[in-house]
Amino acid sequence: MFLKGALVSISMALAAITSAAFPVTQRFEKRDEGDASTNGLTDLVTWDKHTIMVNGERLFLFSGEFHYYRVPSPGLWTDILQKFKALDYNGVSFYFFWGYHSPKKGVYDFTGIRDIQKAFDAATETGLHVITRAGPYINSELDCGGFPSWLMNMQSPARKSNPENDAASKEWLTEIDKYMAANQITKGGPVILNQIDNEFSYNTDERYMAMLKEKFLEDGMDVPTIFNDVRADGNFLTGPGSPNIYGWDQYPAGFDCSNPLAWPNNRTLWWREFSATNNPTQPMAVWEFQGGAFDPWAGPGYPACYKMVNEEYAKVYYKNNYAQGIRLQNLYMTYGGTSWGGTPKPTVYTSYDYGAAITEPGLMTTKAYENKLQATFLHTVKPFLTTEYFEPQVDNNDIILVDGLADVNTPAKFYVAQHWHSSSNDTDEFKITAETTNFGTIEFPRSSKLILDGRDAKILATDYQFNSQHLVYSTSEIFTHQDMGTHDTILVYAYEEEDGEFAIKVDGGANVEADESITSETEDGILQLTYKHPNGTQPVYISGTNKDLLVLISGYTEALRWWAPSVSKDSRVLIHGPYLVRSAKVSESTVAFTGDIDETTDIRVVAPENINSITWNGKELEAKQGEHGIWTATIEFIGPDIQYTDLTEATWKYSPGSPETEPDFDDSDWITADHLSTNSTTPHDTWPILYADDYGYHTGCLWFRGKFNGTSEITGFNLTAHSGDASAWVAWLNGEYLGGYTIQPDNDYSNQGFDNLNGTLIDPEGENTISLLLWTTGHEDDFNADDDYKSARGFTKAELLGISNSTIWSIDWKVQGNLGGEDLVDPVRGPYNEGGLYGERNGWHLPGFPDNEWEDVSLPETKNQSGVSWYRTSFDVSIPEGYDVPMSLVFDDDTDARYRAIIFVNGWNLGRYANDLGPQTQYYLPKGILNTNGGNTLAIAVVAIDEAAQLGKVTLEPYGTLQTAMPAVELVESPGYDSRK
């Protein structure tokens, strides 16, 4: 809100400081390279040592990571990218997931939820530049690091130059490059940069990188290439495979969110010297900088990760990046999304919220608003982009670190202030001595205090010409400024109750209209305002100078809700109040805003003098014009009639679902396990090979059935499962439960011996059947380029006890996974949607499955159920048009019995629940998969790890309610049971 009061003018005083702060540096061998500003293929994207230039315009690339494959509803992609643009991002980074598009060698799919052209179109529509990152390896906490599952059966190592891997990589690039090349800026599209592989920093092979680089060229990729070193280590700075613009990744907070406020003191202070020594002709780029953190199974949960990488983290670490000279920054993640089905690697669960600026259901956070403050500053204050370091004069420099940055083209200088200890929670005062062109040496603040309050950082400007004004100095940070026609406007901010000073050059006297809490004095050509930052926004109007100036002084909380959407290439309007401002457009005398609100919202608009009408989402507001072009209005929030089924009152259908445990189950059509060797990196102890991937089954639950003839000597058997972090397995003998076993996080195998079974469960004179159900959590990645992604999912040991030579084919085995294996029976949902449960193979998860003969039950379940249990119900959701009400499914149980569950909504695998591990209990149901105006089908498959378990309470819950201008979201094709038949 604005604070109003009497208009007065009073005086102020002066102070002085000296001394300096200089960071610790690290030295590297100098790189000898000539000047280069183009890749020789296009001049639409060029660069110098400061920034990139797009279409000749210098820009700070403020980019965020977005994964289309973590949003299996393409209608939501535009909504999310509109939010990027609203936060003043000008770029988005797309990984492309090879395995998502290729279930089998030679088979590729770019339709439906895999239609990546829609992602490019969304970026074009919203005005975002695109960084393409097609790997082939991408990591991204994905199954196999993004490699397709079928690649595990490649004999040759991946990420190495050899005929087999080169052919596979080129096969992928041939398919994906068709889309990337067609969407380059050189073809009128949004793509401006293209990455070669990903974090290839260990066990490197320059021939492989050179092969990829050449393949991109062959396929028509003519935008500049980039490479993201795992850190600033100098990999592929020069030589074969080196990119046009080298950069690196950095995750200073790490990924342990269990103690979120315990920041390490590891802010980087040597990047500037590294870059000057090693790649001085290129702009400094961090292609992945920490925007959140992933959370493992049994972790503390994403609220803790957000708390660790919150808006204070953004202030301290991002501004340190700018101080070091970073001018291309991609925040990983800005929107995390959902690792649905079998897409994630074992270390992460379904939600990939990441504690990111935009939450998994698409909601704003304080960090998102902080990112907006920074991005708008970087796009507004152009001289900041062409600065070079100088050693500033600062007092208290043993506690406060200040980096001086001087523009090479104008007198402007900037001071980036932060605590030396990045984790400090202290409040410390400091002063800066600045050399100015018109006023010589100025020591500021001159009559108040300049402080850093704990985990804060500030970018302070001096000697800065903006619009028709000359800023001498400001102890408040700049959000943006704009020429409004009759006057200029600038908005500055800091934490509430902090002192502030704002000084401009004036010729002669000036008239200041301000609240009585703000003092002003003109002396020696400097007009200085002195104030405390308010709990709101205070306007100050200065007239009688070259051109009038409206100064908006805001407290930090209020500043977060100021927006400055562009209405043309160099023009913005300001609006305060809404939850989200998606766009603004000026047409004659009307400014039209679109956006979202979460409550009835009072707004203020600062616009050019010719504006006399304001609309919000197409509806004209009853706006009142105040002084100096400040309009006020109210956007009414009308509570919608939202309806959805109460699942605790719904009728559920139940069926047992593990006939595979019975000895007489017909497994004649299962694949016989008969391999004697494997391409897996996991050593095996017995034969035959019992690795499901060797037989074409790669995801979800896996069944193994082994048969042996009993003798009086056989006392039992010994099994070792190898199935990844947080996986589990259950064993039966001749239909009798033997036990269930979990593989804890940070582990990947479990050994169990079953002894003394002769005379009890083992038939010494007949055939015996072992049934094993393996609940898997994906495959490892290939971060170290050592083929770790080929780790087995199955059993490394399966031997009988009591007899000799039992390791050599003492048991005959059959293997079963998803129906069809790599030959998908459900290509619409793709290779990661379903595994090998009996119900999955028979379509029990699909809409339209005839469950009328199943038993009626209610949830929470009242009976202990053993083995696999299936529960089905239908539910309705009704959300009126014009509202965004993201929905979720929530589990609530207090049972001690261990079980795992798979959630299918309209046939889509939207979550894996582990009641014994957690932490996830709430599962996002994306609109488009979820029918928000009609009926839906919910199926839950429950695997009891203990002998029996009870499914607890399951409810539908909204995350929140927004009155919205989000674009329409079409329903995703969801084939039903009829198609499976």
Max intra-chain CA distance, the chain? 110
What 3-state DSSP class applies to 32? Answer: coil
- Identity at 161, one-letter amino acid code: S
Structure tokens at 873: 């119900």
Yes or no: say if 779 and 793 are a contact pair by the CB < 8 Å rule.
yes
Yes or no: say if 15 and 443 are a contact pair by the CB < 8 Å rule.
yes
**Could you tell me the CA-to-CA distances from 7 to 511, 516, 517, 519, 853 in Å, in that order?**
11, 6, 9, 10, 79
The whole-angstrom separation of Cα 825 and Cα 61 is: 43
C-beta neighbour count of 183 within 10 angstroms: 22
User: CA nearest 346: which of 946, 775, 751?
Assistant: 775
29 in catalytic set: no
The whole-angstrom separation of Cα 179 and Cα 648 is: 46
The whole-angstrom separation of Cα 890 and Cα 901 is: 12
Structure tokens at 585: 């457009």
What is the torsional sign of CA 421, 425, 431, 436? Answer: positive
DSSP strand pairing (908-914 vs 812-816): unpaired
199 in catalytic set: yes
> Among all chains, which residue has been given the structure tokens 């102070």?
15
Residue 780 dihedral angles phi and psi, to the nearest 5° = -65, 170
Yes or no: say if 237 and 246 are a contact pair by the CB < 8 Å rule.
yes
- Identity at 252, one-letter amino acid code: P
- Identity at 656, one-letter amino acid code: P
Per annotation, catalytic residue among 65, 141, 175, 199: 199
What 3-state DSSP class applies to 487? Answer: strand
The whole-angstrom separation of Cα 960 and Cα 455 is: 30
The whole-angstrom separation of Cα 899 and Cα 615 is: 53
- b (16+ CB within 10 A) / e for 637-673: eeebeeebbebeebebbbbbbbebbebebebeebbeb
The whole-angstrom separation of Cα 578 and Cα 585 is: 16
- Identity at 509, one-letter amino acid code: G
Structure tokens at 470: 């000359």
What is the torsional sign of CA 342, 343, 344, 350? Answer: negative
**Could you tell me the CA-to-CA distances from 923 to 82, 388, 771, 888, 958 in Å, in that order?**
24, 47, 31, 5, 11
User: CA nearest 500: which of 442, 420, 555?
Assistant: 555
The whole-angstrom separation of Cα 412 and Cα 389 is: 12
Alpha helices in 789-936 (DSSP H): 838-841
Q: Peptide bond preceding 346: is omega within 30 degrees of 0, i.e. cis?
A: no
Yes or no: say if 724 and 344 are a contact pair by the CB < 8 Å rule.
no
User: CA nearest 730: which of 689, 671, 771, 684?
Assistant: 771
Q: Which residues fall within 8 angstroms of residue 121, CB to CB, at 6 or more apart?
A: none
Residue 178 dihedral angles phi and psi, to the nearest 5° = -55, -40
What is the torsional sign of CA 683, 686, 687, 693? Answer: negative
Positions of E strands within 562-600? 562-563, 566-568, 571-572, 574-576, 580-587, 590-596
Structure tokens at 647: 């699942």
Q: Which residues fall within 8 angstroms of residue 160, CB to CB, at 6 or more apart?
A: 205, 208, 785
Catalytic positions, please?
199, 288
